[in-house]
A = this chain, B = another copy of it.
């Protein structure tokens, strides 16, 4: 039996068994005295994780952004990013300058910096970013905590990255290509939502909305009803690919970096004061349901399956 025969989730479940208790969150949580320290790591490879169109500066930006999005999903403030980079033989000075400027520019844009790292040689460009952050103990947001009756919400618009990939593959000019190549994690929104104390569970949707809902549902032992008409689909996406394809991208394409979260219904106004959000459904007892025109159908979990490490495995 070779590695190819396992799914990401099978491997993660195996690993969890070996390593002990599992808390499945966007970041690991460590007691740092007055606050929690949160930490997350993501390994990205040239061929599987960076669209061919991406320039080296954007690869650098992306490698930091994916980790900062995990920090955002905990309601935390970033406190430094480490970068381990395996540089291929063909990387010239221009490439290295641009790549590392991308790391630094993304970190600086979000008020943090690259605090250390490791470089070595590798056949294929491989970048592992690790982000650290801090969050007040009573404000930390996790994937568990949603309760039936809570409102299901998202920041921003959905499906943009999937649409960007489609536009590029089909040689269509679209602003969504930038959404794909230069994602903007929702750090400010994550902090503001944590401070609002209105949120009961949260994660990012970097592997598509379907997998996020499946993970939130699993961690909170609840279900969701999603109202299709309420989904904030990225501007221009439906016009470009049609309504069905747009919905598929919202649910299953990776690369969006919005926050998906649940809010106590009597505190929706507090959450709205924290940041712009859209209510897309609500928490129910069980199952994940899509509702359209008053009809509900059960949804299967589908998401970005491009790489098996799309979802973080946070243990202990």
A85 touches B43 (CB 8 A): yes
A84 touches B118 (CB 8 A): no
Query: Using an 8 Å CB-CB cutoff, how does the interface string of A89-108 with B read, 1 for contact, 0 for none?
Result: 11111011100110110000
Q: How far is the CB of A19 from chain B (nearest CB, A)?
A: 5
Q: Is A146 on the interface with B (CB-CB < 8 A)? A: no
B113 touches A20 (CB 8 A): yes
Q: How far is the CA of A18 from the CA of B37 in the complex (A)?
A: 27
- Give the contacting residue for A90; candidates B2, B11, B18; CB below 8 A: B2
Q: Is A250 on the interface with B (CB-CB < 8 A)? A: no
Q: How far is the CA of A6 from the CA of B100 in the complex (A)?
A: 15
Q: Output the nearest chain B residue to A308 by Cβ-Cβ distance.
A: B120
Q: How far is the CA of A116 from the CA of B39 in the complex (A)?
A: 8
**Given A3-B90, A3-B91, A80-B28, A39–B121 Cβ distance below 8 Å?**
no
- Give the contacting residue for A119; candidates B8, B33, B88; CB below 8 A: B8
Q: Is A42 on the interface with B (CB-CB < 8 A)? A: yes
Q: Is A248 on the interface with B (CB-CB < 8 A)? A: no
Q: How far is the CB of A1 from chain B (nearest CB, A)?
A: 6
Q: Which residues from B are CB-within-8-Å of A45?
A: 86, 120, 122
Size bin of chain A's contact surface:
35 or more
Q: How far is the CB of A71 from chain B (nearest CB, A)?
A: 13
Q: How far is the CA of A116 from the CA of B104 in the complex (A)?
A: 24
The segment out of A126-134, A214-222, A223-231, A288-296 that lies at the interface is: A126-134
Q: How far is the CB of A16 from chain B (nearest CB, A)?
A: 10
> Which residue among A11, A29, A90, A95 has the maximum number of chain B CB atoms within 10 Å of its CB?
A11
B1 touches A93 (CB 8 A): yes
Q: Which residues from B are CB-within-8-Å of A85?
A: 43
Q: How far is the CB of A224 from chain B (nearest CB, A)?
A: 25
Q: Is A145 on the interface with B (CB-CB < 8 A)? A: no
Contacts A/B (CB < 8 Å), 10 sampled: A11-B87, A12-B119, A14-B96, A18-B104, A45-B122, A114-B316, A117-B312, A119-B313, A120-B307, A122-B124
- Extra contacts, 20 of them, besides A30-B80, A116-B316, A122-B126 (Cβ < 8 A), are A4-B89, A11-B119, A14-B97, A18-B97, A19-B114, A28-B82, A30-B132, A37-B79, A39-B39, A41-B130, A43-B128, A45-B120, A84-B309, A87-B308, A118-B309, A119-B309, A121-B307, A121-B308, A123-B123, A128-B128
